[in-house]
Structure 1
Amino acid sequence: MPTLLHRLGRFAFRHRRRVLALWLAVIAAVVGCMVAFGGPGKLDDTFSIPGSESQVALDRMKTDFPSSSGTSAQVVFTAPAGQKVTDPGDLAAIRAALAQAKSAPQVAKVIDPVTAQTVSADGSTAIAQVQYEVVQSALQPGSLDALKTAVSVGGQQLPGMDVQVGGAAFGAGASKPGAEDVIGVGVAVVILALTFGSLLAAGLPLLSAIAGVVAAIAGVLSLTGVTAISSTAQSLALMIGLAVGIDYALFIVSRHRAGLAQGLEPEESAALAVGTAGSAVVFAGLTVVIAMAGLSVVGIPFLTVMGLSAAGAVLIAVLVATTLLPALLGFAGARLRPKPGSRALRRELAVGGAGDAAAKSTAANAGERWFRLVTRRPLLTVLAVLVAVGALAWPAHSMRLALPDNSTAPAATSQRVAYDQVSKEFGPGFNGPLLVLADTAQSADPTAAADRIAATIRALPDVTAVSHPVANPSTHTTLIQVIPAGAPSDQTTRTLVSAIRGDADALRQQTGATIGVTGSTAVGIDVSAKLNSAMIPFAAVVVGLSLLLLLLVFRSLVVPLKAAVGFLLSVAATLGTVVSVFQNGHLAHLIGVDRAGPVSSFLPIILLAVLFGLAMDYEVFLVSRKREAYVRTRRPLDAVHSGGRHSARVVTSAALIMIAVFAAFLGTESQILKQIAFALAVGVLLDAFVIRMTFVPAVLALTKHAAWWLPRWLARLLPDLDIEGERLHQHQEQPAQLRLVEELPSR
């Protein structure tokens, strides 16, 4: 691979105008496809599991009860102090407001509070139900705003009455790219400028990363016309693509600058950088692609699209780093060479791989000093890391998983105010009713069968109310609404769903009817259960893949085992931190979370996939330099210190950039994306600085020569991937040695 990439880098450098023109044509074509076939307006945030009980029942409701099969909104009226919503004047004004609501786009029907019997016991609050025939993701962009406006206009006769619009139609808040992208890029510019000491060198990674992100996001959005793409998938692809795009370019440009500092010609330096650092980029990128694409095996379309979108963004980032970036290096030419006498030149010469003699003649840099510190008492370092990580990971044992709802929406939003008011006056279960669809085709008396089903459900624990069965005689089906006592994300609601489904066989024997539990709450419960069951097998596959890949790369037994343990420690500590902040509420206000709630069901498995790939990035870039030094010197401790000298600064910069990009997305209103961004930022922070730059060197110092041992029989079986590009270095050194031999007689 290094030889092939070396040739590719040289080709791109020499034919830079053609390569640049080709990439511009590709970007223009993809953007054109986005404009013609897709776009942000066609994003679909539907949660579903094809074949699940809740989804099967929901699909049947589309034909049997179309007006109840779509999403719904709630209009919550709260009377001023001393008044009641049932007072004649207030009731007339409420009905006038609801009459206007019926004219809002896509509204199928409106049920007033008196008909629905949703007036609080003290008469202070009433809930009107607004039903749509389409799911939440199929609502037109302005439908909900139009509903708010209609209610507001119709409610002008309600002086002093508070009117709020909420309900399932608002979802968890779609994620929309905004200022967070600019913030992340701005921080990256500062870090890159400090890393290279040159604005030109700092601009190249940004330029190449932005080109890759534009191509990736336009490609994702161009598919919205043919398949369901969620706004979270788009944002995740943007987040991951921007972060790895900058990081991959940073590694290659850093190696190129080191080559220029050592006197290489720009073309040879760029080719060598692509052949060496580019090999690690390709390997690291492919691990991320495999892990993200592996999310498709879970069987949830929403998660599959997220994984494939992110995988596509990473794949494009790798292609850009190995083709477009060397072309840009060709345009920059020798201008990237550090100036004589500059600090940047001294730094590059100190870590540019000039050999151990050069390293020893130069004062240790910050990376080497840190590695020397953590390896001075390696056992103490390992124990300290385990204690610290264990403390962070401990809250994860109480983690509750659910899909976000309006209870965690920003406090000032209408849907959050409506949710809180409904919970206060009617109980939290009114925010997430269950729907029971009964097929009475095989019942001797369909009406009696429906009544028996309703009575059985009414007798179950944690049931607040059960509606009168609504029948459709032509399809032999009956719809029953069940109000749980708990909130949609409460364990009691999950238990209630399980209890209803557990009674299905007994009810079929007694009445001849079959039932299915559905509705947005039941769908969310099924999604969470599916993800829970898939998490352990997926984690096993990811860890097994890391062991295999690192075994091939480093030809060692200890290094893969140590990397897998470190990865699991990173994941555990990150999940524990997420639980502490989002579920337990510790310091949550600092990132704009005003109410604690369950962790998003998607978070753990997405974290496993993404953090696995990023952890492999840092593992390869750090440990490959250590192995390179060990192969050359056979001194294990010196090899660890050499790795710190050569790679710690670049890895630190890469990690800080990635953290900044992820942290910038904490400003989004989407609870799902906010949790993902926080988890990835914390995960990279812990994995890069606590695990890879502290735990890893300490373990390598403890195991010494054994860290690089591999049985001979296994060494013969495994292919030598040469990820460090040793053959390229040997190829470079041979001409220099020949020239030296030729000069000896003349001396």
Structure 2
Amino acid sequence: MAHLLYRLGRSAAALGWRVVVAWVAVLAVAAGAFLAFGGTLVSTFSIPGTETDRVSAQLAQELPGASGATGTVVFRTDDGSAFTAEQRDGVAAALADVGGLDGVSSTVDPFATAEQTAAQTRQLEDAAAQVEDGREQLDAGQQQVDAAAAQLEEAGVPLSASPELSAQQEQLDASRAELEAQAAQVEDGQRLADLASGIRTVSEDGSTALGVVLFTQDQFSLPEEVKSSVVDTLEAADLPGVQVDFSSEIASSTEGILGPGEIIGVVVAGVVLLLMLRAALPAVLPLVTSLAGVGIGVTASLAFSGVVEMASVTPALGVMLGLAVGIDYSLFIINRHRRQLREGVDLRESIGLANGTAGTAVVFAGSTVLLALLALNLTGIGFLGTMGTVGAVCVLVAVLMAVTFTPALLGVVGRRVLDRRTRPRGAHVDRSRPMSTRRAVLGVVLPVLALLVVAVPALSIRLGLPSGAQEAEDTTQYRAYTATADAFGPGQNGPLVVTADLPEPVAEDAELATQVELAEQVASFDDVVAVAPAGVSADRSFFAFQVVPADGPASASTEQLVQDLRALDPTVEGAPGDVAVGVAGAASGNIDISDQLADVLPVYLAVVVGLSLVLLVLVFRSLLVPVLAVGGFVLSLFAALGAVTAVYQWGWLADVLGVTSPGPVLNFAPLLLVGILFGLAMDYQLFLVSGMREAYVHGTPARRAVMAGLRSGRPVVLAAAVIMVSVFGGFVFSHLAAVKPIGFGLATGVLFDAFVVRLVLVPSVMHLVGRGAWWIPSWLDRVLPDVDVEGAALEREHPPAATSRGVGPADGARPAADERERELAGRR
């Protein structure tokens, strides 16, 4: 690998502008493909086979009209006064226009619904009054019949002798039975109306109204263009004095993929590069390489969005990864090249050697990230696998750009990669001293304790999907959510659909009573605000209800309510057997997705860690170093999850970090953090520890080699980590609610892993272990292929590079070091 990359680097440097133009052409083709074939991104997440998916499918079969997705449109008067007649008519006309759009089955006019509800209430009251009047009339008639019967009895005439009186009594009995049946119907209707009284479409002060849009397709298959047409139609409506906002089921935005926060992150990365490299031109090169790579990777991936369903967060993930690793990988090669130039190595020879040594480490580091991202496809979760694949494409492009585009740029700029004050200074022999044992012990104990403390909040982590409450305050989703919660209660933002599948159909005259019986059992839970019938199947064996919970869809109480409803075992008079209860809706879907993601997390972690352990054993030819690498990653991962939980669930530093409303942590964030942070952690492990191993195999004593590798790799690792933290941190202020916790988790994860684990904990443990860090069974050492990630074989063929590397024996090196090196060379 090192020799191949060496030749590739020299060729790219020689071709220079041709390679640059070729990559620019690739960027143009990718952008053109995106413009020609790219589709729309989706804002919903689904996993086939969940309980919510099953109930939704049953709804589609039994009640086709109730199976489509629904979205809420919030209408508010600008001055907070009640809607005027003209404004009500305008809202009705606008919703009627929306009802005619393709993909929309119907709309619900809030004012007409309120009037219908009021009319039904009056009808029930009138019917109840009529029942009472009927009872009074029947009672009066009964008194007349009873009086006549008493007179006959006094006269000694049997009642049978008066057929007219007997007929009157029979008629009274029949009328009373009919009236009582009507009274039961009215009473059931009143009970249902009382159960549904908590559902309103117009606020009590008349200033806010909720329109409903019913779509022909379910929430997870609804095309984005249908929702966009609804938004465009209502925003174009003539509604003077009325503000229109849309719930997250209708309004979805991809704004914020590259916003001010992300741009600031790139600017900070540029400042770090300038401070490290101390010259403007070399500081610009990694940024150019990274931005070009991001453009190619993201646009090429999005070109397939017309045929592959991609979530709106997918390109943001690609941008995050492409920027971060693209800058870092290019920086590693440029830094090695600059150091060799300062030691007097020829320009093109230095470019080739930097590509063959640092470039080899880049390829293996990128391989660990690719492995972790592509392994997301093993979870069986479609949208997550797509996100992993897009991220992997962006990382692959970053690696290819680093080992081809970067050498070409270095060939073009020549020795201007160094400032004029820099002069060749000859070889340098590292004279690092090993750290003290006391410092090493503290370097193990303090980081472990600190990371464990930060990880404590992760013990109470709760997973879910962001609701409108977590969106940015200036978004229509946030305004719609808060306006609905203020005027109608938070539960109106996430109503549930509860179904009851009876073992046998009920009689036609028992349908209403069965609805009441089921609704009252559903309403018996404390966190249920209202229950309203949503439909009955044609054979009267399947009943559906709309249930409004007390809290929003992301609340812990609503999550518990879903679990309680699913465990409900209702009884229905006249329908023997078990009644199967199902729950669907946004809250239900979030719970199912979170549960399945939590189930696959251990499997995914085991696969990624297992395969990476094998790769690390190959790279480092050691057993302890890979185990130490993975153990440190686990500490930094849980610390990052703890920080995410404290900020986004507990609300710590909410005002500083722009958290509008604390809630559950994004349910697929832990999986993404595992995949991405593991790959990046192995990057830093590789770049840092490979320098220690290189010094060790060249004869430096084990403990001194630790410090030699640390001092040579620390500046570039520090710069790379700061760059990653700044790039990822920029996404903390994204307008996409799903992007914020990912950016924050990655930023804090890199911060903990690079600064605490790799630069403090790992060197301390390796110092305490000494030569044991490089122990490997002899039989395993013989069978393992030599991947030579540090390019030692290449350096032996190019002695000036080895000298410039400063890896000659330090003072006090063991005489046996040369023999060890010859032995290693013989194995190779």
Q: Structure 2-normalised TM-score?
A: 0.79
- 8 A contact 2:235–2:244 mirrored in 1: no
After the TM superposition, which residues 225-236 of structure 1 pair with which residues of structure 2 at under 5 Å, given as runs? Answer: 225-236=306-317
Mapped to 2, the partners of 1:169 and 1:276 lie a distance apart of 52
After the TM superposition, which residues 502-541 of structure 1 pair with which residues of structure 2 at under 5 Å, given as runs? Answer: 502-503=567-568, 510=576, 516-541=582-607
Partner of 2:522: 457
Partner of 1:299: 380
Report deviation, 1:636. Answer: 1.8
1:652 aligns with 2:718: yes
Partner of 1:20: 20
Mapped to 2, the partners of 1:599 and 1:37 lie a distance apart of 34
Deviations 1:487-529 (Å, cap 9, x if unpaired)? 2122332233233333479889846875542222221111111
Q: Which moved more, 1:194-203 or 1:267-276?
A: 194-203
After the TM superposition, which residues 163-178 of structure 1 pair with which residues of structure 2 at under 5 Å, given as runs? Answer: 165-166=246-247, 168-170=249-251, 175-178=256-259
Q: Structure 1-normalised TM-score?
A: 0.87
Q: Which moved more, 1:632-641 or 1:561-570?
A: 632-641
The partner residue of 2:614 within 548, 551, 557 is 548
- 8 A contact 2:9–2:403 mirrored in 1: yes
After the TM superposition, which residues 360-439 of structure 1 pair with which residues of structure 2 at under 5 Å, given as runs? Answer: 360=431, 372=435, 377-437=439-499
Mapped to 1, the partners of 2:85 and 2:533 lie a distance apart of 24
After the TM superposition, which residues 482-521 of structure 1 pair with which residues of structure 2 at under 5 Å, given as runs? Answer: 482-503=547-568, 510=576, 516-521=582-587
Mapped to 2, the partners of 1:96 and 1:400 lie a distance apart of 43
Report deviation, 1:539. Answer: 2.1
Mapped to 2, the partners of 1:681 and 1:213 lie a distance apart of 19
After the TM superposition, which residues 85-484 of structure 1 pair with which residues of structure 2 at under 5 Å, given as runs? Answer: 90=84, 93-104=87-98, 108-112=106-110, 113-114=113-114, 115=116, 117-118=199-200, 123=205, 127-133=209-215, 134=217, 135=219, 138-140=224-226, 142-143=228-229, 145-146=231-232, 149=235, 153-154=238-239, 156=241, 165-166=246-247, 168-170=249-251, 175-337=256-418, 339=420, 341=422, 354=427, 358-360=429-431, 372=435, 377-437=439-499, 443=505, 445=507, 447=511, 453-471=518-536, 473=538, 478-484=543-549
Q: Which moved more, 1:722-731 or 1:260-269?
A: 260-269
1:728 aligns with 2:799: no
Partner of 1:54: 52
Report deviation, 1:260. Answer: 1.5
Mapped to 2, the partners of 1:709 and 1:476 lie a distance apart of 70
Mapped to 1, the partners of 2:268 and 2:248 lie a distance apart of 38
SS of corresponding position for 1:129? strand
Which residue type is aligned with residue 630 of structure 1? Answer: Y
- 8 A contact 2:227–2:250 mirrored in 1: no
Report deviation, 1:170. Answer: 3.4
Which residue type is aligned with residue 552 of structure 1? Answer: L
Mapped to 2, the partners of 1:436 and 1:736 lie a distance apart of 72
Report deviation, 1:142. Answer: 4.6
Report deviation, 1:393. Answer: 1.0
- 8 A contact 2:469–2:660 mirrored in 1: no
- 8 A contact 1:581–1:587 mirrored in 2: yes
Q: Percent identity?
A: 38
Which residue type is aligned with residue 462 of structure 1? Answer: D
Report deviation, 1:607. Answer: 0.6
Mapped to 2, the partners of 1:121 and 1:154 lie a distance apart of 19
Partner of 2:68: 69
Partner of 2:191: none
SS of corresponding position for 1:548? helix
Report deviation, 1:442. Answer: 5.9
Q: Could you say which structure has the larger radius of gyration? A: 2
SS of corresponding position for 1:672? coil
Partner of 1:45: 43
- 8 A contact 1:375–1:381 mirrored in 2: no
SS of corresponding position for 2:212? strand
The partner residue of 2:679 within 607, 613, 617 is 613
Deviations 1:558-595 (Å, cap 9, x if unpaired)? 11111111101101111111111111111121121232
Partner of 2:130: none
Q: CA RMSD in A?
A: 3.2
- 8 A contact 1:97–1:150 mirrored in 2: no
User: Structure 1's 26 and 300: CA in aligned 2 closer, same or farther, altered over 3 A?
Assistant: same
Partner of 2:818: none
Mapped to 1, the partners of 2:70 and 2:301 lie a distance apart of 26
SS of corresponding position for 1:24? helix
- 8 A contact 1:98–1:154 mirrored in 2: no
User: Structure 1's 545 and 454: CA in aligned 2 closer, same or farther, altered over 3 A?
Assistant: same
Report deviation, 1:707. Answer: 1.1
Mapped to 2, the partners of 1:379 and 1:168 lie a distance apart of 54
Mapped to 1, the partners of 2:705 and 2:312 lie a distance apart of 46
Q: Which moved more, 1:55-64 or 1:377-386?
A: 55-64
